[in-house]
Amino acid sequence: MTCEVALSLTVNGATRNVSVTPWTTLLDLLREDLDLTGTKKGCDHGQCGACTVLVDGKRINSCLALAVTRPDAQVVTIEGFADGDMLHPVQAAFLQHDAFQCGYCTPGQICSAVGLIAEGHAHSREEVTELMSGNLCRCGAYSNIADAILQVIDEEAQA
């Protein structure tokens, strides 16, 4: 008999009632049960950042979070950022600055960037680079990623 636990999460603004095994990660719940495959599985060990999502407004590696430990979480994935055809400013900046090549790391980079900007601790290229260091990019798009994030930080400072 499989032991499952009922959870009621809010994912991208919608209530999702699910039943998961205690060892199901948030990443697997999103990808396998909710078909939100924008969130990527890279290392599955907390070392690459490809699985980054926002939980209660904070960026986390969803491969390290057991879903049962977040029973009432507000989760935002890459699928939750755009408003119809209107991209989130960070998404638009990534496009403008060509901040990706293969795109595999990009959903995690964008989620992490949104979390980083909300934290308010990054004001320079060095700080952006340091605070985004948990998100690896095998294509080496780091410079363009930093350009995109810095643009949004500047835009928000001027707003």
DSSP 3-state of 111: helix
Q: Is 51 in the site for ligand FES (CB under 6 A)?
A: yes
Does residue 89 interact with ligand FES by CB under 6 A?
Answer: no
Question: Closest approach of Cβ 112 to ligand FES, in Å?
Answer: 10
* Tokens coding 96: 């403008």
Nearer to ligand FES among residue 12 and residue 101 (C-beta): 101
Q: Considering only 28-36, 37-45, 74-82, 115-123, which stretch makes contact with ligand FES by CB under 6 A?
A: 37-45
In whole angstroms, how close is the CB of 109 to ligand FES at the nearest point? 7
Among 11, 31, 42, 115, interactor with ligand FES by CB under 6 A: 42
What is the side-by-side order of every strand in the sheet holding 14-20? 14-20, 5-11, 74-76, 52-55, 58-61
Which residues in the chain belong to E strands, given as ranges? 5-11, 14-20, 52-55, 58-61, 74-76
CA–CA gap between residue 87 and residue 94 (Å, rounded) = 10
Segment near ligand FES (CB under 6 A), from 13-21, 79-87, 102-110, 116-124?
Answer: 102-110
Q: How far apart are CA 78 and CA 130, in angstroms?
A: 22
Q: Does 92 sit near ligand FES (CB under 6 A)?
A: no
Nearest of 141, 129, 51 to residue 101 by alpha carbon = 141
Q: Residue 35 forms beta bridges with which residues?
A: none
Binding range to ligand FES, per CB under 6 A, among 4-12, 41-49, 89-97, 124-132? 41-49
Which chain residues interact with ligand FES by CB under 6 A? Answer: 41-44, 46-51, 61, 63, 100-106, 137-139, 141
